Amino acid sequence: MGRPWVGRAPLSREEIQRVGPQARKWAAEQILNVWRREKDKSKFERFWGDELEYVMVDLDLSESRATALLCQDSVLQRWNEQIANRKLRDNLKDEDFDLQTEWASFSIESTPSKPYTEGIGDLLNVEKSMKQRRTLIKSLLGPSQYPLTITSFPRLGVKGRYTTPDYGPSQSDIHYRMLPPEVMSPSLRYTYVAQQILGRRKRPAGVHIQLFQDKNMPRQFLDDPLSLEYGTTDNASVQPEKDYIYLEGQAFGAGCCALQATFQTASEHDARWLHDQLVVLGPIMLALTAATPMFGGYLVNTDSRWNCLVASSDDRTLEETTSFIESPHTCCSVPLTRWSSNRVYLSHERPSDIVNACGQVRVDEMTRRQLLDGGMDESLASYFSHLLWHDPLCLNQDDVDDVNPEATHIFQKFQSGVWNHVHLKMPDSESGAGWRVEFRPMEVQLKDSENAAFAVFMFLLSQAIVTYRLNFYVPIELVTDSMQRAQKLDAVTEERVWFRRRDWAPNELNSIQCIPEDGYPRQRSTDNTYGLMTIDEIVNGENSTSPSRFPGLVAIARSYLLERELLPNEEVKLMQYLNLLSCRASGSLPTPARWMRDFVDKHEDYQHDSIVGERVCYDLLREVVKMNEAD
């Protein structure tokens, strides 16, 4: 989620609100200066990279118990000491990987130190890099401790022990009634962000999640977690909901792990186009990578983490939430929070019937006018003035005292507190990076080979989008609807999401052949330009002889890939990645969420009551370890 905090402590919420109007002017000036300087430049290096996040666990064989390992700080300290010693001994200048803090103290993030290129060699090295990073983190842990690419620790927040070291809920802090404060990273950045969000809310961050209805689950189930067993009777503000569990604490959302990818484009023009197409692809990739079927020691009725992320960063006051009125338009039935799906398109090349923003989007009007007066177009001005509508979560006196119009530090403080599922990243003069697009919705996969497959697929697809000028636009409010559909139980096979069926590319590309590899039947396309489609139809193509039928994302990525010269072994490996995507979409290869559900269902200790017991959790995570050792 970002680099550690550097500098003096941030301003208080009241101080930030006081300097907010001036800070927005500074941020808008910085945006305009970068935009004017870079908007007509071209960088042809198609650099890209991934961010892979891990949950660190301890597997106690003697007690058959799995616990979340709260060791982020010590792991990073050992890593930094190791780097210093290697540089001193071997005159080492660069490391192959970077390790960074994440929100939860049981999580850690890894990235390659240098971006990948578009070369075939780098595409084939992604999996190797991911394996090496896992091995590196494992070497910094104890014998029974492992870094796992799981989205969330399954028994976080249960009654009893679930962390190492063992901490109980706070007896005094209202914001930590279910989770100990120690689950948060000691990094000052996350501490400040949490304080600002909770300070504005004036109440703990919590969310109700529907339970999975297994055959022995008690009927009329009411979860009352904030009882005496959690050290408090202050539960008046939390009303139990039938057949829902209640999760209170930012770690249930902000502590989730993900697989993210960032792609550099040749120009601002290409970045804006790619941004918009990836916005539409977000729900599809969320469903394909679904990996979160458990929270708080229960099986739940959703497969993805997204709405928990939304709840964990929701800084609205109680009055703001109760005054929210659902609109008949789908986009407006999901409130805008700091973490949300995108509500603004950027490219002025979009079809004439596609508006640039959802009607619910709020913008800072003074900022919008400043950007427009500075020469920026309406779409980009709406995007940035929407980011600047929120107050920055972390702004300190250093920022206010040393405002450099040619830098972006003020703007970055605003942007780093708003998390959309796709981010436009402006050029960075310090690193030399150009216009980039960050893709954020994918859930982390259990195996390195799977994470590599999704990262490589998204790179190939992003290049095909820019090269072929693929047009996946649907009305922006339908993306919000699709993000909700994509989180449902077995959404990859049971749900449909909004996608463009016609006019998706220049005519000459409509000859791309759909080659189903699983034999599953596909429904014929309708005459609608866009409509509800299954994930299988979108990924593997519609079963239609019509030349206007959509051939599938895998066929598009394959077509782009085969335009390059490949050695036979290179083609075999990369086609394995595409085949994984194809099988996942058809249902012949289960999502991590479905695999976990099936494992729990077959476990001898599982009582079919939706409770994921201690032994079940231990055996599940032990199996994930074995899976990676054999991968």
User: What is the distance between the alpha carbons of residues 263 and 459, in angstroms, rounded to a whole number?
Assistant: 7
The better pLDDT of the pair 91, 544 is held by 544
Peptide bond into 351 cis (omega under 30): no
Exposure class string for 279-295: b at 16+ Cβ within 10 A, else e: bbbbbbbbbbbbbbbbb
Please compute the mean of the pLDDT values over residues 410-436 and round it to a whole number: 90
pLDDT band at 170 (very low <50, low <70, confident <90, very high): low
Choose the most confident range, by mean pLDDT, from 204-208, 388-392, 597-601: 597-601
User: What mean pLDDT is predicted for residues 268-278?
Assistant: 97
Which pLDDT belongs to residue 488? 98
Q: Who's near 553: CB < 8 A, 6+ residues apart?
A: 281, 284, 461, 538, 539, 581
Q: What percent of the chain has pLDDT over 70?
A: 88
The structure's pTM equals 0.92
Assess whether pLDDT exceeds 50 at residue 582.
yes
Task: Give residue 251's pLDDT.
Answer: 93
Calculate mean pLDDT across residues 386-410. 85
Mean pLDDT, residues 429-448 taken together: 94
Residue 35: is its pLDDT beyond 50? Answer: yes
| Predicted confidence (pLDDT) at residue 302 exceeds the cutoff of 80 | yes
Model confidence at 513: pLDDT above 70: no
Confidence of residue 422 (pLDDT cuts 50, 70, 90): very high
Task: Kindly report each contact of residues 560-568 with a partner whose C-beta sits within 8 Å and lies 24 or more positions away, as own/partner.
Answer: 560/460, 560/461, 560/463, 560/464, 560/467, 560/468, 561/460, 564/120, 566/120
Q: Which domains does the chain have, with CATH numbers?
A: 13-227+241-449+609-630 (3.30.590.50)
Q: Quick check: 73 and 284 in contact, CB under 8 A?
A: no
Per-residue pLDDT reduced to its tens digit, 467-492: 999 999 999 999 999 999 999 999 99
* 611 vs 526, residue with greater confidence: 611
335 burial class (0-12, 13-18, 19+ CB within 10 angstroms)? middle
Distance, CA of 483 to CA of 281 (rounded, Å): 10
The whole-angstrom separation of Cα 301 and Cα 298 is: 10
Contacts of 14 (CB under 8 A, 6+ apart): none
The 10s digit of each residue's pLDDT in 82-106 is: 888 877 666 655 668 999 999 999 9
pLDDT of residue 516: 40
Q: How many residues does the chain have?
A: 631
Residue 239 has pLDDT above 80, yes or no: no
Q: What is the pLDDT of residue 440?
A: 97
pLDDT score of 510 more than 80: no
User: Hey, is 459 helix, strand or coil?
Assistant: helix
| Residue 326 confidence (pLDDT) | 44
- Across the range 26-50, mean pLDDT stands at 92
173 or 353, higher pLDDT:
353
Decide if pLDDT at 64 tops 90. Answer: yes
User: Residue 570 pLDDT more than 90?
Assistant: yes
Strand partners, 52: 110, 259
The answer to whether residue 548 scores a pLDDT higher than 70 is: no
Give the pLDDT band (50/70/90) at residue 605: very high
Name the average pLDDT for the chain: 88
Whether the pLDDT of residue 525 is over 70: the answer is no
- The alpha-helical segments, DSSP class H, found in 359-447 are 365-373, 378-387, 397-401, 409-415
Strands 419-420 and 339-340: parallel
Least confident of 327-331, 382-386, 397-401: 327-331
- Decide: residue 503, CB within 10 A, 0-12 exposed, 13-18 middle, 19+ buried: middle
* pLDDT of amino acid 524: 36
> Does the structure show a pLDDT above 50 at 19?
yes
Do 421 and 281 contact (CB within 8 A), yes or no? no
pLDDT of residue 509: 57
Instruction: Say if residues 552 and 520 touch (Cβ distance below 8 Å).
Output: no
Listed in order, strand segments (DSSP E) in 309-379 are 339-340
